Structure 1
């Protein structure tokens, strides 16, 4: 099962992050469950990848954030930007018969690099839930933040997907005034990405997980921290907390998915006391890419 699932993730990752119209279509009948994921989608630009994703017949589509670009505290503008996305036939054809999970990042949250301080976050959350057709009576309507989890059972095992909210509770970043980088790590122990309530939720959910694979989705990168943009590395104690949470709860087959950067990237780290390497797959962007990257 592990080989088959990993192959599925690998195929979809390469497909979604390709900037050209590609290529390899998933026709392997041994693949039991296919997950497609991506982020950074400008609603006013034609997305050429929807058809390619559809060809792979995914069972689940995961939005990794920046699902639209709005950057506004005007909720009417935010609603209209979501309406623009909802009119795209390619997207509608993709998701009409499959499950969709989603988080947001800064541009659909409402403010660039924003976090806990955003004064319209509760209103923006309700519009987010409206777009994803969340029932008006759902507990998620009263929850602070858009995090969620869901178990998918397949003939060859189960997969639990945890979608994190790295915006609603995120505290201030530290500007880097000593280099060309935008941010530098906070002093160890200062600040949080997930906040106490979401951390408690994630810890309990991992502790109770019996899944063969556990997939954690973050709108910003978790393991890649050298670039100086937003990343979990701005809060080094939060990376340690996530590592210890995975180890202490003996979560099997944990895989990280992320977005934000407008590039494709694999990041890997081996932690002591974790029997497998932790890998962060970054898939971004769906409609545009970062062209100034240098090694």
Structure 2
């Protein structure tokens, strides 16, 4: 799959800035096309129950991706029993469609709460070290990889092509995430912490991310977060529950001068595009949420998101991004069964 270029996987992270053009958004149900061939194609998704049929594996393979990125909740385990967790990962690995994808496409990614082992779990999960090793086994991570000895599954993958390079920055929003503030007054589950209270990434991961962003030379820097970063009013898990962490990330994007930052997120059982302008960055920051693969929020009837662009999709789908290094364009698509395009956003960087 990667015979046209060399893929280099490093431990590190990066993010970026460049030229802004108003994005073109179209919501449609046409069939995705694969020509002209993109310089690099990334497919991603989240919220995948290992004991439910996933009709999208063949569609994902047909888009000819250069990499598949798990966005979290890759299985639904919710257990602190490592034998049970291992068996559920094995069940997912036995899925024929997923086996076909793995045989042809590199697989990378992060976890979220249900494969981490505890619903809405964070730093206090007492089996997180053991769970990390099971996750790394599932991801076929080598025994000498730094993730085998570090705390947390964060890492960087850099893909160099003759046309340009992409750095995929995989975050861990579970291992270090401190307590949430529960909402005791409304029907929402959580409310934002007091400003400055708590962390999502933790000190070590923040230091790593800072160095990776400041030293990035990639044309595009893809930030993988299992939970949404921009949408912040729905009452579920989001970086918005730690507003100072959002501000810190945006400042880092500005200061790093990294190019072409795009956020990938999942968790929500809906798909949507969110976008914000950041002073000091000459393109909008897009948070592309793709969720879920086997089940969705079918009773969705609306929720606030001040950053939303276009419509919410609550049909089973995966995310696809086609990159053109010459034009600095990212073509982002929400793809459903039979390659139907249900949402699309084009952005030039």
The reply to whether TM is greater than 0.5 is yes
Q: How many residues align?
A: 278
Alpha carbons 1:26, 1:55 under 8 Å: kept: no
Richer in strand (by share):
2
Matches within 5 A, 1:59-208: 59-208=66-215
- After TM superposition, give the deviation of residue 32 of structure 1 in Å: 1.2
Alpha carbons 1:25, 1:55 under 8 Å: kept: no
1:247 aligns with 2:254: yes
Give secondary structure in 2 for the equivalent of 1:211: coil
Give secondary structure in 2 for the equivalent of 1:35: strand
Could you tell me which of 202, 219, 223 is aligned with 1:216?
223
Cα distance in 2 for partners of 1:57, 1:28 equals 11
CA shift digits 1:55-112 (9 cap, x unpaired): 0110000000000000000000000000000000101111212221110000000000
- Gaps of at least 5 residues in structure 1 are 1-9
Richer in helix (by share):
1
- After TM superposition, give the deviation of residue 133 of structure 1 in Å: 1.3
CA shift digits 1:117-174 (9 cap, x unpaired): 0000000000011111111122210010000101111232111100000000000000
Give secondary structure in 2 for the equivalent of 1:104: coil
Cα distance in 1 for partners of 2:78, 2:233 equals 26
- After TM superposition, give the deviation of residue 24 of structure 1 in Å: 2.5
Cα distance in 1 for partners of 2:33, 2:196 equals 44
After the TM superposition, which parts of structure 1 deviate over 6 Å for at least 4 consecutive aligned residues? none
Q: Which of structures 1 and 2 has the larger relative contact order (alpha carbons within 8 angstroms, sep 6+)?
A: 2
- After TM superposition, give the deviation of residue 23 of structure 1 in Å: 6.2
1:225 aligns with 2:232: yes
CA shift digits 1:223-268 (9 cap, x unpaired): 0011000000000000000001110000111000000000001111
1:290 aligns with 2:297: yes
Alpha carbons 1:26, 1:57 under 8 Å: kept: no
Give secondary structure in 2 for the equivalent of 1:190: coil
What is the Cα-based RMSD across aligned positions, in Å?
A: 1.6
- Gaps of at least 5 residues in structure 2 are 1-23, 303-349
Cα distance in 1 for partners of 2:269, 2:85 equals 22
Give secondary structure in 1 for the equivalent of 2:40: coil
Q: What's the TM-score once normalised by structure 2's chain length?
A: 0.77
2:288 corresponds to: 281
Cα distance in 1 for partners of 2:301, 2:162 equals 43
Give secondary structure in 1 for the equivalent of 2:283: coil
Cα distance in 1 for partners of 2:243, 2:301 equals 24
